[in-house]
Amino acid sequence: MGLHRFKPIPSGRMGMLWTLASIRDAALLEFGCMGHMLYGRVFLNRAGVMDACKLYATHLDETDVALGGTGRLSRAVADIACRDKPRVLFLLPSAVPEIIGTDIPALCRELQPDYPDMRLLPFSNVGFDSGQHRGIQATLLQLVKILPQDVPKTPLPTFNLIGSCADLFRFQADAGEIARILAGTFRLRPLCVLTSDTSVKQIEQLGGAHVNLVLRREGVPAAEQLQQRFGTPYLLARPYGIQGTCECLEQLAQITGITPDRSYVNGQRNEALRLISPALPLFRQVREHPENRRLSVGGHADVVKGILSFACGELSLPQGRCWCDSPAMASEDVPYFTEEQWTQAVQSQGNGLLMASGEVLAWAGRNAELQIANPDIKWRLNPYEPPFVGFRGAVHLVSLWINEALRQQ
């Protein structure tokens, strides 16, 4: 690993941890050094993930590494089964067991008969050169391959939200806004919010939903698996802005065949337009004088694209330098920037509007309220903060932008 002034790209193993750690009625055991899990727990607590999956690490010593011993893992499994009695125990390897070739899936098959009431579900690292997003994708796919049961569709229409994970900034607020809108528009109720607000039992019922809404591209393989097995249609959409949210709802109506409550949608749309209307004349001034007023955005590729579609598409704000945080998701419109590239991009934009991670904003001395990505520098204990997606998210974003533009004048 090269030298970094800031945090490097998180590993695929961290993506797995952030995906699994919010699942209730489960436990997670890492076969590795205890320090890894301690740091992971700190991040999760700060992100607002508490009292969900029980997190454990075995610890390793020189004998375990030199001789390939797995006694600690077997004893830890027995202790967790006795203490917590989880429905599922996820087993996650660290770098050392992967390097020395510890066959955790084989060990799980050997131990499983001793624990008929606790399912052992091993996960494998996705490669040392793979980032967090690859780990999230692999974990979501394995969860929907193994845990869902054959169940009928729910009597009333329901949906699954796929890809809401703890690595995304303000994930709880965004999931809540989407659930609110779908309830009002289609009378759809969430069956499973995978994985930021779910339990093992809810994952087992995934096949009963009438539609899957995928919030990020990493969830597409999981949605395709559910479509193949249960025939559940899916839509990949992360609705930003007023027009963008309306278009998403129209697409869902076509996919599900459910007639939307257009009076509700029009009411939400008109209310959002009414609330942002005082700021629109000021935005026109920004467009006429774009110097030092451009919007620069850095974060998850789908978040960046969604915010730009609202700001630069619906509101016609001038676009600055934009980038994503994963080389695997880079595109011509949203390239990947290394640490050196994004620091230069931020410095080159003068003032302007900057939305990025808490780490970037703190380094640049910019407004922390415009944070849209991790790494974070604060604790996020309030799940009821304003969202970024949906109708209320549109009002929230406009409020942030107009106040920052006025502050810089």
Mean pLDDT, 10 residues at a time, over the chain (409 residues)?
72 91 95 72 87 86 59 90 96 72 84 96 74 93 97 97 96 97 98 97 98 98 98 98 98 96 98 96 77 88 98 93 94 94 89 93 95 93 94 98 89
pLDDT, one tens digit per residue, over 68-109 is 567 788 899 999 999 999 999 999 877 666 666 678 888 899
The domain 278-408 belongs to what CATH superfamily? Nitrogenase molybdenum iron protein domain (3.40.50.1980)
SS (H, E, C) the chain: CCCCCCCCCCEHHHHHHHHHCCEECEEEEEECCHHHHHHHHHHHHHHCCCCCCEEEECCCCHHHHHHCCCHHHHHHHHHHHHHCCCCEEEEEECHHHHHHCCCHHHHHHHHHHHCCCCEEEECCCCCCCCEHHHHHHHHHHHHHHHCCCCCCCCCCCEEEEEEECCCCCCHHHHHHHHHHHHHHHHCCEEEEEEECEEEHHHHHCHHHCCEEEECCHHHHHHHHHHHHHHCCCEEECCCCCHHHHHHHHHHHHHHHCCCCCHHHHHHHHHHHHHHHHHHHHHHHHHHHCCCCCCEEEEECHHHHHHHHHHHHHHCCCCEEEEEECCHHHCCCCCCECCHHHHHHHHHHCCCCEEEEEHHHHHHHCCCHHHEEECCCCCCCCCCCCCCCCHHHHHHHHHHHHHHHHHHHC
Task: Identify the CATH number of the domain defined by range 158-272.
Answer: 3.40.50.1980
Q: What pLDDT is stored for residue 63 in this prediction?
A: 58
- The pTM for the full model equals 0.94
Domain boundaries, given as residue ranges, for the chain = 12-134, 158-272, 278-408
Please name the CATH architecture into which domain 12-134 falls: 3-Layer(aba) Sandwich (3.40)
Q: What pLDDT is stored for residue 68 in this prediction?
A: 59
pLDDT, one tens digit per residue, over 348-378 is 887 889 999 999 999 999 999 999 999 999 9
**387-407: b or e for each residue (b if 16 or more CB lie within 10 Å)?**
bbbbbbbbbbbbebbbebbee
Distance of CA 314 to the CA centre of its chain: 25
Q: What pLDDT is stored for residue 126 in this prediction?
A: 57
Cα dihedral 354→357→362→365 (10° resolution): -10
**CA angle in degrees (0–180, nearest 5) for 315-386-359:** 85
Domains 12-134 and 278-408 share a fold: yes
Cα dihedral 66→71→72→76 (10° resolution): 160
Specify whether the CB–CB gap between 85 and 117 falls below 8 A: yes
Q: What pLDDT is stored for residue 7 in this prediction?
A: 77
